[in-house]
Structure 1
Amino acid sequence: MSQEEELRELIKQIKPAGREAMERAKERWRTVAKPLHSLGKLEDAVIKIAGMRGSAEFSLEKKGLVIMCADNGVVAEGVTQTGQEVTAIVTENFTRRETSACLMAERAGVDLFPVDIGVARDVPGVTVPEYKVAYGTENMKNGPAMTREQAARAVLTGICIVRKLAAEGYGILATGEMGIGNTTTSSAAASVLLDRDPAEVTGRGAGLDSEGLARKISVIREAIGKNGPAREDVVDVLSKVGGLDIAGLTGVFLGGALCRIPVVIDGFISSVAALCAVRMAPDTLDYILPSHRSKEPAGEMVLKELGLSPYIDCGMNLGEGTGAVAVMPLLEMGLSVYQNMSTFEEISVEQYEELK
């Protein structure tokens, strides 16, 4: 069986979230001794997670952040401020707890899982042969970034990692990435999937000046024109103008749906992977939670396409999973009220009613 055939078989197993569990969670919220719907999106998140888990009682105690790390051949076109070597340096720093995501995750009680899915060199403490699909992608300006089999294998790798973590008891996963040049690949994929001109969806990434931005847009436009990715074929889009990190994260979102656990979008790059997953298997959307509104131009566009509204807006565009990690304490706060607050009956107060 080919990688693509295996992927198609797994996608067939994805089912919608449990509506009965969601109704039970809604009923529990109605009995909690506070004004109805007063925690807004946090109440909605608890209800949605109940549907994912198929139970109105669940825990978010064991939390993980999966960081897909990969290099992109398009960096050769001068679309970034820093060189490709930075990908490996930061990937190794994840093991030393020397990145922004590490420090934020430690505060939020989130375990880190950096994955070398396509870094240009092996990374001590991170590289695992069965997870590494390639030593970076090809330059998409000159031809496809990778083969279809590589793209499918990267998606399967993401699914495999989620299955492993779910078996270890993780109840919620955040998504992150590290890869110099990946705002270029994600902008290219977003341009195709949203049917938007590259200029509409492409930002400055990690600090490009106006000349650099213009060059980045031009490279994306050329890559799409040369490779002709088919919008309705996600594997084709990923292989022609995507990145191994995006493909791996696509698998993480699909894996969440397969294992019935929530997966939290980080920023723009992560949201493009979520969109890829939903286009491949629409029911995957039931298992995806947003986090923040990215400063990248297409960040909000992709969330709107998915019908998701962010929980926070801090003007962040760092990546690594920082936005997804930042929202974890909020989700736990909402769950704490849901699980532990007294009911109207317990405090002998008349229950609020839904008023039209």
Structure 2
Amino acid sequence: MPRIPAPNLSTRQAAEARQQQLTKPAGSLGKLEQLAVTLAGLQGRDIPLPLSPAITVFAGDHGVCAEGVSAFPPEVTGAMVANFVHGGAAISVLARANQARLEVVDAGVASDLSTLPIVHAKVRAGSGNLRHEAAMTRQQAEAALEVGRDAARRAIADGATLLIAGDMGIGNTTPSAALICRLTGHGVEAIVGRGTGVSDAGLAVKRQVVADALARLAGQTLDGHGVLAELGGLEIAAMAGFYLEGARQGVPLLLDGFISTAAALAAHAIDADIAPWLLASHCSQETGHALALQALGLSPLIDLGFRLGEGSGAAAALPLLQQAIALHAGMATFAEAGVAGKSA
């Protein structure tokens, strides 16, 4: 498989030089300036083009829900997939508001969704209970990665120039926390949070479940594929594949929240060359998200107290990316405006 390319250094440098000449004090637009420069390097253009975003929501169920780690029953996963299709979910609204392509993929939902107009790519009907066994076999993890790669190929073939992966899977903050702990070395207390809002007792159970899953693998040497198979989920693996293929094709990746970042860490464990293609949209309220972003060297654009998932935080940040490009392209330089530049 072709390698993930590096960003274009020369166009990045040209964009940095342009930013110094725009009619404003250097750095006065903060992260929007940095974002425009980053996108120039990723697009290979001194002045990036406006983005055509595609959002793909991957759905899957989790055997670990049997341990009582979620405030909602597993049946909600399938019901929410139907809500996406019918346009009533937050991500459905945000996709429309941002004129973003939206696709929903069943990577491993336990219930039968065959009547819904979605992409049917079920690898298996829910993952295993990672407290006691591997969430997936290595072969199933590979298949789920390919589900995500296929989704990225469809989106890019349809004209996408920015990819967002969303998630739907009751209980999926538990495998995400386990992945983040294993891949970053942070402890359970720092990473495992309340997810959909479990009680204090539920949080204690959830932390013990993750601790038991990590202990099950103690002393084992695992590559990125192995960690994903043991501790991940079908939709999480599909998201990782989506990111890997997007980067391979030179398309920027805008991360969402906790689950999205866990998937990005898994993708990074598989191929570290993905790092420059990752952008952080927001910092979730979920415990450990900030630490997961730090592990990837990412700084979020916004912090609005989101903890929904679905790709909602990334979609909410989309206007900032478009505005960063518009400012970079549309502002006059000091010379064009006949304005004196900084003298000292």
Q: Give the TM-score taking structure 1 as reference length.
A: 0.92
Deviation at 1:108, TM superposition (A): 2.2
Is the aligned partner of 1:325 residue 2:342?
no
User: In the alignment, which residue of structure 2 is the partner of 1:280?
Assistant: 270
Query: 1:297 & 1:220 partners in 2: Cα distance?
Result: 14
Deviation at 1:275, TM superposition (A): 1.3
Deviates more, 1:301-310 or 1:247-256: 247-256
Deviation at 1:227, TM superposition (A): 4.2
Given the alignment, which residue of 148, 168, 172 partners 1:178?
A: 168
Q: Is the 8 A contact 1:267 1:323 kept in 2?
A: yes
Gaps of 5+ in 1: 1-8
User: In the alignment, which residue of structure 2 is the partner of 1:194?
Assistant: 184
Query: 1:147 & 1:127 partners in 2: Cα distance?
Result: 25
2:340 partner SS: coil
RMSD: 1.6
User: In the alignment, which residue of structure 2 is the partner of 1:296?
Assistant: 286
Matches within 5 A, 1:1-356: 9-10=1-2, 13-123=3-113, 124-129=115-120, 131-228=121-218, 230=220, 233-352=223-342
Q: Which amino acid aligns with 2:260?
A: S
Query: 1:229 & 1:39 partners in 2: Cα distance?
Result: 48
Deviation at 1:152, TM superposition (A): 1.4
Deviation at 1:197, TM superposition (A): 2.3
Q: Is the 8 A contact 2:108 2:235 kept in 1?
A: yes
Deviation at 1:59, TM superposition (A): 2.4
Q: Which amino acid aligns with 2:306?
A: M
Note the alpha carbon deviations across 1:51-110, whole angstroms, 9 max, x for none: 112222332342111111110011111111111100001011111111111112222222
Q: Which amino acid aligns with 1:154?
A: A
Q: Which amino acid aligns with 2:103?
A: F
Deviation at 1:231, TM superposition (A): 6.4
Q: Which amino acid aligns with 2:116?
A: G
Deviation at 1:287, TM superposition (A): 0.7
Judging changes above 3 Å, is the alpha-carbon distance between structure 1 residues 61 and 257 closer, same or farther for their aligned structure 2 residues? Answer: closer
Deviates more, 1:342-351 or 1:297-306: 342-351
Identity %: 36
Deviation at 1:337, TM superposition (A): 0.8
Query: 1:50 & 1:261 partners in 2: Cα distance?
Result: 12
Q: Is the 8 A contact 1:230 1:237 kept in 2?
A: no
Deviates more, 1:14-23 or 1:201-210: 14-23
Query: 1:51 & 1:61 partners in 2: Cα distance?
Result: 14
Query: 1:215 & 1:320 partners in 2: Cα distance?
Result: 25
Query: 2:239 & 2:139 partners in 1: Cα distance?
Result: 16
Counting matched residue pairs gives 343
Query: 2:212 & 2:177 partners in 1: Cα distance?
Result: 13
Deviates more, 1:278-287 or 1:304-313: 278-287
